[in-house]
Amino acid sequence: MRESAVFVMASALADATLVLAAATVALAVISVLGIRSARTDVTRQIDAMRTATDEQLAAAREELDAAHRPLLIEVFASGPIYPDMGARSNPSISRAAGREIPETISLRFDGTAPSEIDPRFVFVDFERGMAFISVPLRNVGRGLAVVVESDIAANGDALYDLKAPPSASRVRVPVGETTRVNIVARQQAGVSVGPGDQWAVTVPYTDFAGRQRTVARVILERSDSSPAPFQWHIASVEDAA
């Protein structure tokens, strides 16, 4: 009897041990699953917070950029001559009836004689198989415009390629001030340009931090067939990122 009782107790103890072990394993599994679930939830929360933060930062950057975004547009030929254009009265130019002596600037390309021109005018002159182009642009945006001289280009009938690196009279253009983009391009032999023909001058620029790159696509149009260098005007200016 005593041996039977001992056996029963041992069997019960073994069963209890197995139950306890199973419960321990189940508890461990539940704990692991709970930890994984909690970790997943935390990861999701962190990702959501990171996404929200990135969106807030992007919105803040866009707002900040908008506060100092430059914008280059055409200079109107009939508009005012601003002090920053560097013009001065030129007595050598004949006075028109009832009009004041015009103000001019001196424009000179390498290897050519200087020309006295109205600072508001587009200048296009053909000489020795080359086209000399000078276009005024004004910054009417909210921040400094930095012209990327190396990327300035000109395309159109009778234009072949650039003879020399393009330049801007002012690379850094403050708000409300003006620059002139100067280009010397080779002419295509046998190709003429007549009234209504158009060229495209592209002028890339950025803000003061080198961001917000924009390309001003300036469309030049020839007014008539006169060989005078002021028979061109800006038909439009289109902006592209």
pLDDT for position 174 = 97
Q: How confident is the model at residue 152 (pLDDT cuts 50, 70, 90)?
A: very high
Tell whether the model's pLDDT for residue 68 goes beyond 50: yes
CA–CA separation, 12 and 161 (whole Å): 99
Reported as a single tens digit per residue, the pLDDT across 93-103 is 655 444 455 78
Taking residues 109-138, what's their average pLDDT?
A: 92
| Range in 6-15, 62-71, 132-141, 144-153 the model is least confident about | 6-15
pLDDT for position 106 = 92
CA–CA separation, 110 and 123 (whole Å): 15
pLDDT for position 33 = 67
146: its two tokens:
């930095």
Taking residues 132-160, what's their average pLDDT?
A: 95
Question: Which has more pLDDT, 115 or 51?
Answer: 115
Reported as a single tens digit per residue, the pLDDT across 204-228 is 999 999 999 999 999 999 988 776 7
pLDDT for position 97 = 45
pLDDT for position 84 = 95
pLDDT for position 112 = 85
Share of residues in the chain with pLDDT > 70 (%): 74
**Predicted TM-score of the model (pTM):** 0.72
Q: For the chain, what is the mean pLDDT? A: 83
Residue found by looking up tokens 């100092």 in the block:
68
